[in-house]
Structure 1
């Protein structure tokens, strides 16, 4: 009898332990909501210091989140940034370095033949969509996909308005739409509609695990806001290069819709088991909104082009607060893998930032960017670029601690900055600190070799230095 009782006690302990482990396992596999705003600048939110744009819902979310103030995209414009985030791999793997074509700008001002550039990611790549689907999640994308024709070939069960299209098109924020989406109400606003579709997805899948990817088309051009909000900001004084009322209206609409989605998660009691990530695909357009104290904007590899807002919330799991460790969006994939399927072997180029989310330290590492192509100027007098003809010419960049080095392939130019003392990247220290410049250059060259990064070397036969000199003079008149 004693043996029988002992056996049953042991059995109960085993069953109880198994039940506890099952509950524990479930709690570590949350729903995931990834909100990716298009062209939203690092400083374009209230919690990031803006006094002009009004973002009360995101300001509230920031107080409940880990706020990364040194968060980066892996590229300075949308297609390569999104491809790298979704695949967890450097552009050398998927081949997208820019929005096609790669040889933008007047051919007479380009010294080199740009490296080849892909338009879409290959179907063989194991994307975040495929990862979540194979781990039992229902998956949906609502908005700008931009890296292939159909996200359903990359693991998404539901696709609303996602295609290879990179922006809504002329007059595209109000129905009838240019994207593949039939309006429910005449004159409805695209940002509202995408959010309502995302909310439907949450309601329909509330009893399941889900991955909701919400890449808003907003705040990409064409700038179009609701008239009543535009009127509001016309009558509000701007500051620090932030004074565009239409852009402000778009930001407010985006914030309102984020609030709606968060409200549904709360009302369905899903917030506690939902990991929320909010970010932007690249820096904002400098001519539209300044990102001071950061230099330049979208398309540039100065800080204003690649540093973006980033919030991560998981209620009762992640402590809120400000995190200064540099991270990159390529880290999302390995972080989610470590959380959901740590045993799965995948080749990913980022690193899990779970330690930072749970208030632990990460080993210091270097961050790298590679751009072997050309991206023409947006507004020569506003871009804040190295020269007025291009937001970026071919080159590579490394951030190592507080130091950042830019290397340009056309002329071998080096720019060295200390971001702690000079976040605007205004004082090139390459000549005054050649030891640090060479140290970072060696790291950069080794990284390129390790990842077989293409470096354009073929001279462009159409290049005309006299024409280029005259074009630069004319651009600055």
Structure 2
């Protein structure tokens, strides 16, 4: 007959065994390098999510991510145009520093397809060589990386990714993503295959998921369009359906992490490259959205999720996408390059402590770059936000074929109270000259502007 003492010792040993196994597994998980996944929306208004309170657009997967993340509802991108915004996410620098201020060299000074135009496009792509990109830095730490979706700066290899989809300039169709633009719209298999490979090799990874969604062309699946077209103009319904389609693809990627038990050790970052307000009467965007420094152009929710480390919940502070690079690198225990203007938010996100910053900055340039060696030639706005106040300073940089999207009818300073006037209808600069002076001085300290150069290049 087995004594009760022996039974007790046996049960105790089993308990110790399982406790040790669980502890060992947890220790191993915490000692692994942190994976990083970026979800980057393309042309979406900051209001157009369920968790941001939109009454119609359904985004259940991003709503779930928001519940599990530190969410900055007052997030911003410094530049409201995709290419410069994306280079900021690769390098951690403002457009006025990394040099890619617009999407294309101006056709006014070099005929599209000409040798001069190709030279200028190649020079813009080469600006990335001046910086260590996120995939390059992580690659030196042993990370594998995968690019899909938007990428303007040559091939995925040129940007430092070990794997990817974009062939890039100067390949045919290599302007802004070529094969990479298939992701999401034509399935998620490349990302899934990459995750399987990284898991099999037991390698940490970085995923750049920047699909051509909800970007035009607005061609959603019929099943999603049917949900929205009864109560909205067809142009609006298509856009709303595209937002939900993007959400579905994000859900697929997040499920891949869950199914492979990778979610607990993966930092997920969410941001939009720039805003968009759908014109109900056309397939284009409305004024005061994309390309402008108004809220419809630069505001975006920014989210960070890392289970067990980042404290989930709403963060009241201002946030900028300029912080994303140092924050991702810190989460991966990778070196942060000297001179980055953004903040490493990991200490605040893990402790819940407030961010020690009360002002953020941004800049707006023309879509077409007048002078690729002089950012001020295309400078339209500089701006700052501090507390409830937002100041826009207007400049005479050269506009282009998209000039109608830049409402520069007010040449003087524009000051808005974003709490009382979130849609920026009332310029109160004359009523608060002291606020204008304070924020203008801060802008000048952040980005001193030299006198704009005269453009003398002749079209060829």
Q: Give the shorter-chain TM-score range.
A: 0.7 to 0.9
Match of 1:221 in 2: 216
Q: Kindly report which structure 2 residues correspond to 1:264-413, keeping only aligned pairs within 5 A, or say none.
A: 264-287=256-279, 296-341=288-333, 345-358=337-350, 359-373=352-366, 394-410=380-396, 413=412
Residues 1:132 and 2:138 aligned together: yes
* CA deviation after TM superposition for structure 1 residue 372, in Å: 4.8
Asked if the contact 2:144/2:162 (under 8 Å) is kept, the reply is yes
Give the Cα separation in 2 of the matches to 1:55 and 1:349.
32
Give the Cα separation in 1 of the matches to 2:280 and 2:33.
40
* CA deviation after TM superposition for structure 1 residue 262, in Å: 1.2
Q: Kindly report which structure 2 residues correspond to 1:3-42, keeping only aligned pairs within 5 A, or say none.
A: 23=27, 26-27=30-31, 29-42=33-46
* CA deviation after TM superposition for structure 1 residue 428, in Å: 1.2
* CA deviation after TM superposition for structure 1 residue 409, in Å: 2.0
Asked if the contact 2:148/2:180 (under 8 Å) is kept, the reply is no
Give the Cα separation in 2 of the matches to 1:79 and 1:299.
11
Q: Give TM-score scaled by structure 2 length.
A: 0.76
- In structure 2, relative to structure 1, the CA distance for the partners of 1:210 and 1:374 (3 Å cut) is closer
Specify every segment of 5 or more residues in structure 1 that has no aligned partner in the other structure, as ranges.
1-18, 105-115, 173-177, 183-188, 377-391, 461-477
- In structure 2, relative to structure 1, the CA distance for the partners of 1:179 and 1:295 (3 Å cut) is closer
Give the Cα separation in 2 of the matches to 1:59 and 1:356.
22
Give the Cα separation in 2 of the matches to 1:405 and 1:439.
10
Match of 1:205 in 2: 198
* CA deviation after TM superposition for structure 1 residue 402, in Å: 1.9
Q: Kindly report which structure 2 residues correspond to 1:78-97, keeping only aligned pairs within 5 A, or say none.
A: 78-97=82-101
Give the Cα separation in 2 of the matches to 1:442 and 1:123.
32
Match of 1:456 in 2: 452
Asked if the contact 1:66/1:357 (under 8 Å) is kept, the reply is yes
Give the Cα separation in 1 of the matches to 2:52 and 2:355.
24
Asked if the contact 1:142/1:162 (under 8 Å) is kept, the reply is no
- In structure 2, relative to structure 1, the CA distance for the partners of 1:295 and 1:439 (3 Å cut) is farther
Match of 2:252 in 1: 260
Q: Kindly report which structure 2 residues correspond to 1:99-118, keeping only aligned pairs within 5 A, or say none.
A: 99-101=103-105
Asked if the contact 1:127/1:154 (under 8 Å) is kept, the reply is yes
* CA deviation after TM superposition for structure 1 residue 253, in Å: 1.9
* CA deviation after TM superposition for structure 1 residue 95, in Å: 0.7
Q: Kindly report which structure 2 residues correspond to 1:434-445, keeping only aligned pairs within 5 A, or say none.
A: 434-445=433-444
- What SS class does the counterpart of residue 69 from structure 1 fall into? strand
- In structure 2, relative to structure 1, the CA distance for the partners of 1:296 and 1:59 (3 Å cut) is same
- In structure 2, relative to structure 1, the CA distance for the partners of 1:83 and 1:370 (3 Å cut) is same
Give the Cα separation in 2 of the matches to 1:71 and 1:323.
10
Q: What number of residue pairs does the alignment pair up?
A: 394
Asked if the contact 2:141/2:334 (under 8 Å) is kept, the reply is no
Pick from 42, 50, 53 the counterpart of residue 49 of structure 1.
53
Specify every segment of 5 or more residues in structure 2 that has no aligned partner in the other structure, as ranges.
1-22, 109-119, 370-377, 397-409
* CA deviation after TM superposition for structure 1 residue 125, in Å: 1.6
* CA deviation after TM superposition for structure 1 residue 405, in Å: 0.9
Asked if the contact 1:409/1:456 (under 8 Å) is kept, the reply is no
- What SS class does the counterpart of residue 393 from structure 2 fall into? strand
* CA deviation after TM superposition for structure 1 residue 249, in Å: 2.3
* CA deviation after TM superposition for structure 1 residue 397, in Å: 0.8
* CA deviation after TM superposition for structure 1 residue 286, in Å: 4.1
Give the Cα separation in 2 of the matches to 1:288 and 1:375.
26
Give the Cα separation in 1 of the matches to 2:234 and 2:50.
12
Asked if the contact 1:150/1:163 (under 8 Å) is kept, the reply is yes
- What SS class does the counterpart of residue 247 from structure 1 fall into? helix
Asked if the contact 1:141/1:160 (under 8 Å) is kept, the reply is yes
* CA deviation after TM superposition for structure 1 residue 344, in Å: 5.0
Give the Cα separation in 1 of the matches to 2:241 and 2:367.
32
- In structure 2, relative to structure 1, the CA distance for the partners of 1:417 and 1:211 (3 Å cut) is same
